[in-house]
Amino acid sequence: MQACSGAFSEAVDPDLNLGPGELSRGVRLDDLQCARASEFYRNLQPLMRFKGLRQSSRAGERIIAMQISNFKDMYLAELQELVSTEAQLAESLLQMAEVASHPALKEALVRHREQTEVQKERLVSLLQKHGADPTAHTDQAMQALIGETGKMVTMLKGNDLRDAGLIASAQRLEHYEIAAYGTAAALAGQLNLRDDQQTLHTSLEEEKQTDVLLTQLAKREINPHAVAA
């Protein structure tokens, strides 16, 4: 086994202001897991630069140009944010599955990634139906949550504890999606867009089912192993 702190230190953006203790705890992984975790953390650096609400002047100009003036446009903006959420999550879930050790957790993360791709396509179809650009918005809240997941991977020692941290992070992401889909569905209902509302409710129920599955996995297998480790 080896300490991955050096690999992670090289991957960290100095602008993130992470304390030295967060990167020097000597996370013990085998060679393959160390490489995967290091790659996972390195790939998150562009996302973690959004820590807080920092934005470039160019991004700020874009936001000003996208001012929303009516309820329908607010609804479409919510859908655009959700497309960004699902796209980011699909990439993150794959990385999380590679770092995970427990077979059932790996399987759950991979399966949800496949489901996430389907959910994203539903959103794209809705936006295209309304003549809106699916790529117009970037969800910075999801960027921050994924960044925290990457940091968590570097801090936890041992397979069992790391799996517990991964499942906790995955549920944090799920809860954010549940809130976002619930909001979008409510807006669709207010606009009397019943087909849209039903489509969004379908994804919402899938997110809730995934959250239940992760809770069961955590309680029955992952967390007891982490406690006993």
Structure tokens at 150: 């990457």
Structure tokens at 179: 């809130």
Give the tens place of pLDDT for each residue, 21-56. 333 334 444 556 556 666 665 555 544 443 333 343
Q: What does the pLDDT average to over 143-167?
A: 93
- What are the two backbone dihedrals, phi and then psi, of residue 56, each rounded to the nearest 5 degrees? -75, 160
Q: What is the pLDDT of residue 229?
A: 82
Structure tokens at 92: 């993150």
What type of residue is 227?
V
Q: What is the pLDDT of residue 10?
A: 39
Percentage of residues in the chain having pLDDT higher than 90: 67
| Start-to-end C-alpha separation, the chain | 16
Distance of CA 52 to the CA centre of its chain: 16
Q: For residues 58 and 26, is the Cβ–Cβ distance under 8 A? A: no
| pLDDT > 80? residue 202 | yes
* Ordered structural domains, the chain, with CATH: 2-228 (1.20.1260.10)
Structure tokens at 44: 């998150």
Q: Which pTM value belongs to this model?
A: 0.73
Q: What is the pLDDT of residue 153?
A: 84
More confident residue, 60 or 220: 220
